[in-house]
A and B are shown apart, each in its own frame.
Chain A
Amino acid sequence: EIVLTQSPGTLSLSPGERATLSCRASQSVSSSFLAWYQQKPGQAPRLLIHGASSRATGIPDRFSGSGSGTDFTLTISRLEPEDFAVYYCQQYGSSSWTFGQGTKVEIK
């Protein structure tokens, strides 16, 4: 099973700043089957990015994904107040899906 490790655990930033979230896999993620989700308190997760860099429907272009192999990044170019949330990466491979432990982006 591929283990995903997200860093940092918590990111304290101000609105307007740039956020860079990391997701590292214990083995190479095939065909860039890497996705990112946003979850706010009391809500279901929302798909942001799939295929490592493709934005899901309706996702603003301030969200971007990059990376391949074992190292992936989610970048939020300029944080809006509604972006403060927990972010999870997720991979698919060998008929198994795993999530990272999450990164909380909080208001500084």
Chain B
Amino acid sequence: EVQLVESGGGLVQPGRSLRLSCTASGFTFGDYPMSWVRQAPGKGLEWVSFIRIKAYDETTEYAASVKGRFTISRDDSKGIAYLQMNSLKTEDTAVYYCTRALSRGDAFDIWGQGTMVTVSS
């Protein structure tokens, strides 16, 4: 079964850091771009970050709202994608979904169950 499982969410104070992990199974992880999408409580979906596959030098993209604070990475040998979140703000509070992107990178076909990140003092 193709599956993504996020971990690492929790309650954190503003200005602190948190690292999310996304463990993949059921497919060849290194063949797919990966992305993070978040959803604030009661709100819509917001794309956060994207990482390409090794053949494209694992280049990364970020939403303007997180650029310079968040870093996406991947470990193909372990089948894990990461989201390092620094200088967290209250507006980063959301459910964070790990997603697998289609090979073209244009849409997200597999989603994890999400992990909640709450930024509050």
Tell me if B14 counts as interface (CB < 8 A to partner A): no
Size class of the contact patch on chain B: 20 to 34
Bits for A1-14, please: 1 = Cβ < 8 Å to B, else 0. 10000000000000
Tell me if A46 counts as interface (CB < 8 A to partner B): yes
A35-59 contacts to B (CB < 8 Å): 35, 37, 39, 44-47, 50-51, 56-57
Size class of the contact patch on chain A: 20 to 34
A92 vs B47: C-alpha distance in the bound complex, in angstroms? 10
Contact among A1, A33, A45, A88 with B106 in the assembled complex (CB-CB below 8 Å): A33
| Distance of B5 from chain A, by nearest CB (Å) | 12
A99 vs B63: C-alpha distance in the bound complex, in angstroms? 12
Q: Are A47 and B45 in contact (CB under 8 A)?
A: no
B3-53 contacts to A (CB < 8 Å): 35, 37, 44-47, 50
| Distance of B90 from chain A, by nearest CB (Å) | 21
Q: Are B47 and A47 in contact (CB under 8 A)?
A: no
Contact among B44, B50, B106, B112 with A44 in the assembled complex (CB-CB below 8 Å): B112
Q: Are A88 and B113 in contact (CB under 8 A)?
A: no
**Most chain B CB within a 10 A radius of its CB, from A88, A90, A97:** A97
Bits for B54-67, please: 1 = Cβ < 8 Å to A, else 0. 00000001011000
When C-beta atoms are compared, the residue in chain B nearest to A57 turns out to be B109
| Distance of A2 from chain B, by nearest CB (Å) | 12
Q: Are A88 and B61 in contact (CB under 8 A)?
A: no
A97 vs B35: C-alpha distance in the bound complex, in angstroms? 10
Q: Are A35 and B45 in contact (CB under 8 A)?
A: no
Q: Are B107 and A35 in contact (CB under 8 A)?
A: yes
Chain A residues at the B interface, C-beta cutoff of 8 Å: 1, 31, 33, 35, 37, 39, 44-47, 50-51, 56-57, 88, 90, 92, 95-102
27 A–B contacts, CB within 8 A, in A order: A1-B64, A33-B106, A35-B108, A37-B45, A39-B45, A44-B111, A45-B37, A45-B108, A46-B111, A47-B107, A47-B109, A50-B102, A51-B106, A51-B107, A88-B44, A90-B47, A90-B107, A90-B108, A92-B106, A95-B50, A96-B47, A97-B47, A98-B47, A99-B44, A99-B46, A99-B47, A100-B44
